[in-house]
Amino acid sequence: MDEADEVVLVDLPPGAFCENRLERGAIYAQDKAQRAMENFFTETNLAALREMAMRHTAHEVEDKLHTPHAPDPGGAPARPERLLVCLTAGRHPPS
């Protein structure tokens, strides 16, 4: 991740990941999905992975904010980064 040109964090709560993605077979076939949820994709593991991803992304954003922006070669001033946050009112994100 440190060598990536761009990192995009798409956040999905652990419960929604299991219910929406794994259980409907979007990641593994139905028979493998149940084993995956029992072994690796536990709520504890997913919460830890989610926290690691958020921390890493936050550090990336912080580093970019403290790195001076190079001016555009055409003379236009550098534009600051923009951040988009999408919140839904429902319990689960849209499918």
Residue type present at position 58: A
Residue 23's SS3 state is coil
pLDDT tens for the 95 residues of the chain, in order: 677 777 778 887 887 777 777 778 888 887 888 888 888 888 888 889 888 888 888 888 787 777 766 555 665 556 566 666 766 666 665 55
Q: Whose CA is closest to 61, among 5, 7, 11, 3?
A: 7
Per-residue pLDDT, 59? 84
Query: How close are the terminal C-alpha atoms of the chain, in Å?
Result: 27
pLDDT score of 33: 81
Instruction: Identify the pLDDT of residue 2.
Output: 72
pLDDT for the residue 74: 61
Backbone φ and ψ for 38, nearest 5 degrees, come out as -80, -30
| CA distance to 60, 74, 91, per residue, from 70 (Å) | 17, 11, 42
